[in-house]
A and B are shown apart, each in its own frame.
Chain A
Amino acid sequence: MPPEHAEAVWLTGDSVFSLAELAEISGLPESELRELIDYGAVTPIDPESSPWMFNGKCLLTVRTACRLRISFDLEPHSVALMISLLEQIQDLEGQVRDLRARQPEQR
């Protein structure tokens, strides 16, 4: 069976999604997505502009939110809290990785 070729897109700050796209791709209803935005778990690129647009990292956050919501049967407020704690852990893990990279190896 010959392999199919697939196009991949980086999920970084450069890819952009609308609120409706985020909801469709993640499977999280738009109303719950708005709650996550209210609680600060997801932030539009420019919260003052209309319509809201979101970067690729937000899609990953919203997917995580959706998984947590379904797996643990959580309310949006609890999901937002978990997201915020998970992001803190990721930041700290990133800092540990950076410090390790900067640390000369013992010879």
Chain B
Amino acid sequence: MKYKDYYSVLGVDRSATTEAIKKAYRKLAHKYHPDVSKDPQGEEKFKEVAEAYETLKNPEKRAAYDQLGRHQPGQDFQPPPGWGEQHGDAQFSFDEADLADLFAGLSGGRHAGGHIRMPGQDYDVATTISLMDAYQGTEVELNLGLPEPDAQGRLHRVPRKLKVRIPKGATDGQRLRLAGRGGKGLNGGRDGDLYLTITLQAHPLFRVSGHDLYLDLPLAPWEAVLGASIDVPTLAGPVRLKVPPNSPAGRKLRLSGRGLPRPHGKEGDLFIITQIVVPETATDAERGLYEQLAKDSTFNPRAHLQKEMNHAA
């Protein structure tokens, strides 16, 4: 079994009072709790902090932990002779167990394998899928290591492979529940659940907002003025889009139902946003045409600014 230094995780002295341990835990919980922290490593750090506090806040568990002696974090160690009998778990397999599972199995000094019905633990896992997978639906394979009790109620971490069908309709941040796929319940308690959070990979062309998609459509200045029929990509394949004449930059054209499907409803939309782009360099012929246009056109794009300046003068 690998040693974890719960005191150093909480940043407290080994002689710290329960009150000081609680204070240190609260400070770290504010910093790393996944519901309030923006730290990408927050969840992992919070798990370590919560595991340490769970043992050290309970005087009996803390005494049992202290009796394990001091070791380097991560170092393999064996509890002293008689430790198991003293803390109600004579046959615990120390080689394969995790320290957290060992202390989770001790309920205030008594082993949890009694007759109290205990529900299994819920687990949260995240998976990243592509936009196309969200559009079509996909299957992901999860590799989990969940603690499961043996016949005596002792917890062992068991590797499990789970194939999960993600129905079409996912979007960024959406959650799925896999009932009964979390930790096993004890003494007839219900099995915990597994919660899956979907993250969408950024797509090089489409931006996602809920189930709607956004695509920038660059137009040449003459296409914006004259209008154009342009093939645009969608997740279902290209479609021909009619850009109306005199389309300014930033105009939103809606392709209804071409966004992401919803789990039980109407598909999202694809919004095409027009952009007007100019060539980095114009040929002499192009330049000549623009000069002719500049001479002939009466269009003043800054009329409103001129009005304001005249008013101020």
Contacts and interface: CB of A to CB of B under 8 A. Distances in A.
Interface stretch (A31-39, A41-49, A98-106): A98-106
Contacts of A100: 207
Contacts of B273: 102, 104
B209 A6 contact: no
Interface residues of A, number: 36
Contacts, number: 105
Interface residues of B, number: 51
Contacts of A29: none
B288 interface: no
Contact of B36 (A25, A86, A101): A86
B97 interface: no
A3 B163 contact: yes
A9 B177 contact: yes
Nearest to A97: B209
B35 A8 contact: no
A10 B167 contact: yes
A86 B35 CA distance: 8
B183 interface: no
A92 interface: no
B108 interface: no
Interface string A59-100: 110011001100110000000001000100000000001101
Contact of B177 (A3, A59, A67): A59
A2 interface: yes
Contacts of B277: 107
Given A71-B33, A71-B50, A101-B214, A12 B174 contact: yes
Contact of A105 (B172, B190, B216): B216
Nearest to A105: B216
Given A9-B176, A12-B174, A102-B214, A4 B161 contact: yes
A67 B169 CA distance: 28
B33 to A, nearest CB: 6
Contact of A7 (B165, B195, B218): B165
A2 B178 CA distance: 19
A103 B46 CA distance: 35
Given A101-B209, A102-B209, A10 B161 contact: no
B165 A8 contact: yes
Which among B161, B163, B176, B273 has the highest number of chain A CB atoms within 10 Å? Answer: B176
Nearest to B209: A101
Interface string B90-131: 000000000000000000000000000001001000000000
27 contacts: A5-B162, A5-B163, A5-B164, A6-B178, A6-B181, A8-B165, A8-B166, A8-B176, A8-B196, A9-B176, A9-B177, A10-B175, A10-B264, A11-B174, A11-B177, A63-B122, A68-B33, A68-B35, A86-B36, A97-B172, A97-B209, A101-B207, A101-B212, A102-B209, A104-B250, A104-B273, A107-B275
Please give me the 9 A-B residue pairs with the lowest Cβ-Cβ distance, nearest first: A3-B161, A101-B209, A8-B176, A101-B207, A3-B163, A14-B264, A98-B209, A10-B263, A11-B175
Interface of A: 1-12, 14-15, 24-25, 27, 56, 59-60, 63-64, 67-68, 71-72, 82, 86, 97-98, 100-102, 104-105, 107
Interface of B: 26, 29, 33-36, 46, 50, 119, 122, 141, 159-167, 169, 172, 174-179, 181, 190, 193-196, 207-210, 212, 214, 216, 218, 249-250, 252, 263-264, 271, 273, 275, 277
Given A10-B169, A72-B33, 12 more contacts: A3-B141, A3-B161, A8-B165, A8-B167, A10-B176, A11-B177, A71-B29, A71-B33, A97-B172, A101-B214, A102-B209, A102-B214
